[in-house]
A = this chain, B = another copy of it.
Amino acid sequence: MRVRIIVNLKPSVLDPQGKAVRAALKSLGFEGVDDVRVGKVIYLNLTGVDRGQVKEMVEEMCAKLLVNPVIETYEWEIVED
């Protein structure tokens, strides 16, 4: 099973990487780009894990390693069975 976890900075947290991308897009002549935010996407290939256990497992992995809950939020989904 393949799980995709998207980790984003909370809206209240400054995102210097996003600001740099925005400035670079502007300098390349792209108009109308108001705001840019950059996050991480993590794909996990899980084997021998039932569908029923996945939610708990992903939440535990996010809590223990993948996400810093002070500054980040996450969403996840199963992208392939």
Residues of A participating in the B interface, judged by any CB pair closer than 8 Å: 6, 8, 18, 21, 24-25, 28, 30-49, 57, 60-61, 64-66
Stoichiometry (number of copies):
2
Chain B residue nearest to A34 (CB atoms) is B45
- A61–B32 alpha-carbon span in the complex (Å): 12
Beyond A8-B41, A40-B39, A40-B41, whether A34 also contacts B47 by CB under 8 A is: yes
B41-A35 in contact (CB<8A): no
A25 to B32, CA, bound (A): 41
Residues of B within 8 A of A43 (CB): 8, 18, 35-39
Q: Within the complex, what minimum Cβ distance (angstroms) separates A68 from chain B?
A: 14
